[in-house]
Amino acid sequence: EAILATKDISFNYPDGTKGLDDLSLTIPQGEKVVILGPNGAGKSTLFLHFNGILEPEQGSVFFEGQRISYDKQTLTNLRKKVGLIFQDPDEQLFSASVYQELSFGPLNLGLSKAKVKQRVIEAMKVTGISELEEKPTHLLSYGQKKRVAIAAVLAMKPKVIIFDEPTAWLDPQGAEEIISFLEELTANGITIVMATHDVDLAYKWADYVYIMNQGTKIASGIPSDVFQNK
Ligand code: ADP
Ligand code: ADP
């Protein structure tokens, strides 16, 4: 029932910086999992392993119980199912208009034009950006870009959505909206993994929490156990 798991994974960046150090964890199907940790703890590096952008130097990553191999077909399939939303939407958005941005992934899945359109319209609707359809992405506000990045992943209909700091740089109302939106996704059976520095959010929202530091796990459990002094 773990949808994603890592076993003893280690990874160093080319300049020698330690990214992950012998990390093992599991993401249960359908749950809301928070990865908490300071800047540089290895959260983003872990996420890049979850959808196969990075390959561990040691250890293994598993999706639905299968060890990930790094051939093209396995990776293409994995990226359909594991959607990654970067912290900074400018790293993710590359198309001229919102419609193009949202249709890119579904078109790549080989869906018909009608089916793509249906997915794009639905993704815009649930993220509240329908009125932005024709807008050039470079003219959007930061909060709007964040929604477009989320909608682009939703249009792929992944099983797992991984959010790197979904509330970073948003005002409290924007953050609140994203969180309640995530709540709706899990109600539909989607597994969510979120990185945050926000201890209160982890406490209130997560089903399960991992605390990372220096590329490894330093604590894990349900919030009421992990934050006993709260
Ligand atoms: P972390 O160490 O947690 O990754 P950073 O300070 O490196 O955080 O910033 C994360 C990302 O947010 C960077 O890519 C940066 O470009 C972006 N960013 C920083 N400030 C702003 C801002 N005011 N509005 C939008 N994006 C920002
Ligand atoms: P987090 O997401 O928790 O802020 P990261 O996974 O981004 O942590 O970073 C883990 C470590 O890897 C940090 O020491 C960071 O500086 C380093 N790091 C991240 N990206 C790179 C890179 N492209 N090259 C070298 N070091 C990196």
Cβ–Cβ under 8 Å, residues 165 and 196: yes
Q: Span 75-87, mean pLDDT?
A: 93
pLDDT recorded at residue 171: 79
Residue 48 has pLDDT above 70, yes or no: yes
Confidence of residue 145 (pLDDT cuts 50, 70, 90): very high
Q: What whole-number percentage of the chain has pLDDT above 90?
A: 75
pLDDT recorded at residue 184: 81
3 state SS for 71-112: CHHHHHHHHHHEEEECCCHHHCCCCCEHHHHHHHHHHHCCCC
Q: Whose CA is nearest to atom 16 of ligand 2?
A: 40
Using a 6 Å cutoff on CB, does residue 223 contact ligand 2?
A: no
Q: Whose CA is nearest to atom 6 of ligand 1?
A: 39
First to last CA, the chain: 30
CA 221 to chain centre: 20
CB-defined site of ligand 1, < 6 Å: 39, 87-88, 142, 169
pTM: 0.87
pLDDT recorded at residue 20: 98
What are the backbone dihedrals phi and psi of residue 181, each rounded to the nearest 5 degrees, phi first?
Answer: -65, -40
Q: Which ligand is closest to the CA of 168, given by its number?
A: 1
Check residues 185 and 134 and name the one with the higher pLDDT.
134
pLDDT recorded at residue 191: 96
Confidence of residue 69 (pLDDT cuts 50, 70, 90): very high
Residue 97 has pLDDT above 80, yes or no: yes
Confidence of residue 38 (pLDDT cuts 50, 70, 90): very high
Q: Whose CA is nearest to atom 26 of ligand 1?
A: 88
Residue 133 has pLDDT above 70, yes or no: yes
Residue 230 has pLDDT above 70, yes or no: no
What are the backbone dihedrals phi and psi of residue 138, each rounded to the nearest 5 degrees, phi first?
Answer: -70, -10
Residue 61 has pLDDT above 80, yes or no: yes
Whether the predicted interface score ipTM is above 0.85: no
